[in-house]
Amino acid sequence: MSTVRVGVIGVGWAGRQHLAAYDALPGAQVVGLAGLEEPVRTALAVQYGVERHVARWEDLLEFDELDAVSVAVPTFLHAPIAIAALQRGLHVLSEKPMARNASEAESMVQAARAAGRVLDVGFNHRQRGDIQKLKDVIDAGRLGTPYYAKAWWLRRSGIPGRGSWFTNAELAGGGPLVDIGVHVLDYSLFLLGNPTVTAVSASTYDLLASAGFGFNPDATKTSVAGATGFDVEDLATVFMRLQDGGTLLVEASWAAHRTHGDQFGITLYGSKGGAELIVENYAPSGSLRVFTDDDGVPAETRLTAEPGGGHKVVVEQFLAKIRAGRWHEHDGTATVHLARIVDACYRSAAEQREVRLTG
């Protein structure tokens, strides 16, 4: 199809990223917008020239002119909206995490297969220029065989507001592990060549949140009926065994007694060299260093990278999958394994033991 007609569901930060991406890409037209925040929705409709906008996502799915939708809403709505859209014959791009748990994610895949439509999930961090540059370094063999990686996304005071859906396990599926940790897991496995995770040993903590520390005073996350208090973790740490013999350690925190600000990154050790990427406070490009041994002399190379495409590339790839026509190849299966890993991590933490993954 020459022009893909899209509806965007959600008018928060993520929804605005999708709107901007579609607007910047040829062959895409946003024909509908849904969101409960009427003033914000109206302003965005005017900004992007969207003639039809409604409060309820159910009403948007009734638009006959739609080919696809972006789902950029709280996590507990990902599965019901995606499944309803797929059953209407629409292609779906969902924000991360795919769903609250693997069971919901698998139901989304089943709906995509039954409908014969594309189901994609937006992991924009792997599209960063520094992540892509590091991937080029690894693929070029400069590290040899990577065998150990430590990756993290840490905040000092980043809990997204008490009483929001983010801090309710039933609505969010978990805390920072499923929120920002899933990004870390995605870009780490991407860099390592997507090895199979065979076992996880995880611990989660809520010591700081329960004491009232770490809440972001500027958080504007929407309160949801029934989302009271705080019943998720504020810190998660996971040791993962990989099928190729390697190890991946993932840390994710909303609250921790650490330096002010937010940081994410990854350290990799390989048989021929190592690498470290550190991104402070969401800088467009982070500090990327490669460590090698040149005839017995330690060598360090600093690399620079362009910012990368982020959501624009995510949306561009989604549109390309639709246009390619091989929709059965893009049913969301590739993302379900992340949900299964996160499920295993929470189970490991709850049962205080290593959990093996099969299948």
The answer to whether residue 346 is domain-embedded is no
My answer on whether 166 and 288 are in the same domain is yes
My answer on whether 141 and 168 are in the same domain is yes
Quote the number of domains for the chain. 2
Task: Please check whether residue 288 is in contact with residue 295, taking contact to mean a CB–CB distance below 8 angstroms.
Answer: no
Nearest-10 crossing angle of helices 182-191, 333-351: 120
Residue of 212, 220, 213 whose CA lies nearest to 161: 220
Task: Please check whether residue 239 is in contact with residue 247, taking contact to mean a CB–CB distance below 8 angstroms.
Answer: yes
Q: Tell me the torsion sign for CA atoms 187, 192, 197, 201.
A: negative
**pLDDT for position 64:** 95
The rounded distance, in Å, linking the Cα atoms of 359 and 195 is 13
My answer on whether 303 and 203 are in the same domain is yes
Task: Please check whether residue 70 is in contact with residue 45, taking contact to mean a CB–CB distance below 8 angstroms.
Answer: no
Q: What is the pLDDT along the chain (359 residues), one digit of tens a residue?
A: 689 999 999 999 999 999 999 999 999 999 999 999 999 999 999 999 999 999 999 999 999 999 999 999 999 999 999 999 999 999 999 999 999 999 999 999 999 999 999 999 999 999 999 999 999 999 999 999 999 999 999 999 999 977 789 999 999 999 999 999 999 999 999 999 999 999 999 999 999 999 999 998 887 665 665 566 789 999 999 999 999 999 999 999 999 999 999 999 999 999 999 999 999 999 999 999 999 998 889 999 999 999 999 999 999 999 999 999 999 999 999 899 999 999 999 999 999 999 999 75
Q: To which H or E segment does residue 176 belong?
A: helix 176-176
Q: Which two tokens stand for residue 55?
A: 């409060």
My answer on whether 70 and 205 are in the same domain is no
Q: Which two tokens stand for residue 122?
A: 């937006």
The answer to whether residue 247 is domain-embedded is yes
My answer on whether 13 and 143 are in the same domain is no
């994609």: which residue's tokens? 120
Task: Please check whether residue 288 is in contact with residue 303, taking contact to mean a CB–CB distance below 8 angstroms.
Answer: yes
My answer on whether 141 and 112 are in the same domain is no
My answer on whether 190 and 225 are in the same domain is yes
CATH number at residue 97: 3.40.50.720
The answer to whether residue 105 is domain-embedded is yes
**pLDDT for position 161:** 78
In one-letter notation, the amino acid at residue 212 is G
My answer on whether 117 and 151 are in the same domain is no
Pairing outcome for strands 287-294 and 273-280: antiparallel
């509806």: which residue's tokens? 7
My answer on whether 166 and 297 are in the same domain is yes
pTM given for the model: 0.95
Q: Which two tokens stand for residue 345?
A: 């991590």
**pLDDT for position 359:** 55
My answer on whether 134 and 75 are in the same domain is no
The answer to whether residue 170 is domain-embedded is yes
**pLDDT for position 47:** 98
The answer to whether residue 352 is domain-embedded is no
> How far, in whole angstroms, is CA 90 from its chain's centroid?
22
Supply φ then ψ for residue 261, to 5 degrees: 100, 180
The rounded distance, in Å, linking the Cα atoms of 31 and 322 is 17
**pLDDT for position 229:** 74
The answer to whether residue 347 is domain-embedded is no
Structural domain containing residue 301: 126-308
My answer on whether 267 and 217 are in the same domain is yes
My answer on whether 112 and 156 are in the same domain is no
**pLDDT for position 228:** 63
**pLDDT for position 167:** 92
